[in-house]
Structures are given as structure tokens and as C-alpha cells.
């Protein structure tokens, strides 16, 4: 029986090498270009948010020591360490408007400052430069006093005519109230009188004080409160 040779073993037929039979290299998958751009934008947004947050926290911590009145301060009152205390507050503007350090001796208050308020630089002055002050206590009709008047308020002082003459006259504008009281332990005594002490400043204090006392004794003084001014 004739022997038939394998087709691959026939003369003149070359068997391909193993390296020639390898599969073509697979193409490497690459993310789309828009994906990279979106990632970069996201990272930038996160960085901006972090920086903004740090700045906000840093700004909130920026406080300055400022003097604060521990009680009502009135014109002519010597300023002492017992009348103020240091508090750290955050001021967005006007830092130079307030006292941010200790005040030496020899200063007096020249305008009212309420308890708990920041102490403005303009509210104090060296004693040698401060204007003269006269404290005058007036007996007034309690029913005619501005409602809720108290120490630290500012009022205009008017005098009414002796008879049916001209209208009332402004005697003293923007005067500081330093104290108020009522007789009999209540709002007013049987005569409905109350006492109000005013800090009088300005020129010719002797004459102004005389006019004010005479008008108050005659029941011709009326006080008009200035809202929002202390």
C-alpha cells in the first residue's frame, strides 16, 4: 500500500513560523478628550472653594482691641480705667474712629457715651483742652418730660414766654442728660415734679446757667429729646 506524505511535509512547502501566527496588537482605549477637560475644571472649582473658605475664616478672626464703656459716660467726667474695658471686636471700617489702646491719665469725657458702647476718639479730650461744664439740676413737670428719658440721652432745652408773647425759644441745643430722678420714690411726687440734671457747656456759662435756672423755677422750661443721639 503506497504511503501518502502529509501535505505539510511535502517538498517545497514552507511551514510558517510561530511568530508569524501571532494576533495583531489590540488598540489601546483612550478616554475622550472632553473627560480630561471636565476633570481639570472640577479640580479648579474645588481649589477656588477652599481658598475662599480660608479667606472667610481668616477675616472672621481679624479682631482689634477696642475700649468699651462699662457705664454711662457724661461730659466733664474724668476718664479712669474703671469706666472702660478692653474687648476684641471685628470692625469692617472706621478702626481709627475708636480708641484701640489704653488711655492715659488727664482725659475727660466731652460727649455722652452709653454703657456697652465703643469709645470714640472724639468722645474724650485732654483735661486742659476740654470745655468747661456746669451740671444744673432742674425741677420739671414729670408729665411733660420726654418718655423714657434717662442718663446719656441728648435733649434740646426750650424756654416758653412769660405771657402770650412770642413762641418758645431754643435756649440750648443738644444738651447731655447726666441723671434723672423723681421725688417720693416713684415716678413723680404729689406735685408731679421730677429732677433732671444737664451738663451745660459753651460760652458765657454764667449767664446761660442763670437764665436756665430762672426759667425752670418759673415752670418755663421744656425738654425735647433727640432720637438716636447719645
pLDDT per residue as tens digits for the range 22-52: 555 555 555 555 556 677 767 677 777 776 6
> What per-residue confidence (pLDDT) applies to 28?
58
CA–CA distance, 188 with 182 (Å, rounded to integer)? 5
Helix (H) or strand (E) run with residue 146 in it: none
In a shared domain, residues 138 and 218: yes
Residue 73 has pLDDT above 80, yes or no: yes
In a shared domain, residues 114 and 143: no
In a domain, 186, yes or no: yes
Cβ–Cβ < 8 Å for 133, 110: no
Bridge-based pairing of strands 134-141 and 193-200 is antiparallel
**Cell 434740646 -> residue:** 156
Instruction: Look at residues 215, 214, 213, 180 and name the one whose alpha carbon lies nearest to residue 194.
Output: 180
Provide the b/e sequence for 132-168 (b: ≥16 CB within 10 Å): ebeebebbbebeebbeebebbbbbebbbbeeeeeeee
> What per-residue confidence (pLDDT) applies to 155?
92
In a shared domain, residues 100 and 159: no
Cβ–Cβ < 8 Å for 72, 114: yes
Query: Residue 200: which domain range?
Result: 134-225
CATH number at residue 117: 3.90.1210.10
Last-in-domain residue among 126, 151, 178: 126
In a shared domain, residues 95 and 118: yes
> What per-residue confidence (pLDDT) applies to 172?
92
**When comparing pLDDT for 189 and 138, which is higher?**
138
Last-in-domain residue among 90, 108, 126: 126
Q: Is 224 helix (H, G, I), strand (E, B) or coil?
A: strand
Q: How many domains does the chain have?
A: 2
pTM (2 d.p.): 0.57
Q: pLDDT tens digits, residue range 117-159?
A: 888 888 888 888 878 888 899 999 888 898 888 888 889 999 9
> What per-residue confidence (pLDDT) applies to 110?
84
Q: Is 151 helix (H, G, I), strand (E, B) or coil?
A: coil
Amino acid at each position: 500500500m503506497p504511503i501518502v506524505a502529509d501535505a505539510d511535509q511535502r517538498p517545497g512547502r514552507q511551514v510558517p513560523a510561530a511568530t508569524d501566527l501571532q494576533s495583531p496588537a489590540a488598540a489601546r482605549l483612550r478616554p475622550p478628550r472632553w473627560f480630561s477637560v471636565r476633570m481639570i475644571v472640577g479640580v479648579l472649582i474645588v481649589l477656588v472653594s477652599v481658598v475662599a473658605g480660608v479667606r472667610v475664616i481668616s477675616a472672621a478672626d481679624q479682631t482689634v482691641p477696642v475700649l468699651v464703656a462699662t457705664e454711662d459716660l457724661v461730659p466733664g467726667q474724668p476718664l479712669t480705667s474703671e469706666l472702660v474695658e478692653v474687648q476684641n471686636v471685628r470692625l469692617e471700617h472706621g478702626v481709627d474712629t475708636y480708641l484701640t489702646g489704653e488711655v492715659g491719665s488727664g482725659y475727660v469725657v466731652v460727649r455722652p457715651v452709653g454703657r456697652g458702647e465703643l469709645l470714640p476718639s472724639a468722645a474724650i479730650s485732654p483735661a486742659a483742652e476740654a470745655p468747661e461744664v456746669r451740671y444744673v439740676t432742674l425741677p420739671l413737670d414729670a408729665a411733660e418730660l420726654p418718655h423714657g428719658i434717662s442718663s446719656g440721652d441728648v435733649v434740646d432745652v426750650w424756654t416758653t414766654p412769660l405771657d402770650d408773647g412770642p413762641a418758645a425759644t431754643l435756649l440750648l441745643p443738644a444738651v447731655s442728660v447726666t441723671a434723672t430722678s423723681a421725688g417720693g420714690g416713684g415716678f413723680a411726687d404729689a406735685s408731679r415734679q421730677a429732677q433732671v440734671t444737664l451738663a451745660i457747656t459753651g460760652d458765657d456759662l454764667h449767664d446761660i446757667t442763670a437764665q436756665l435756672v430762672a426759667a425752670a423755677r418759673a415752670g418755663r422750661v421744656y425738654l425735647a429729646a433727640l432720637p438716636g443721639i447719645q
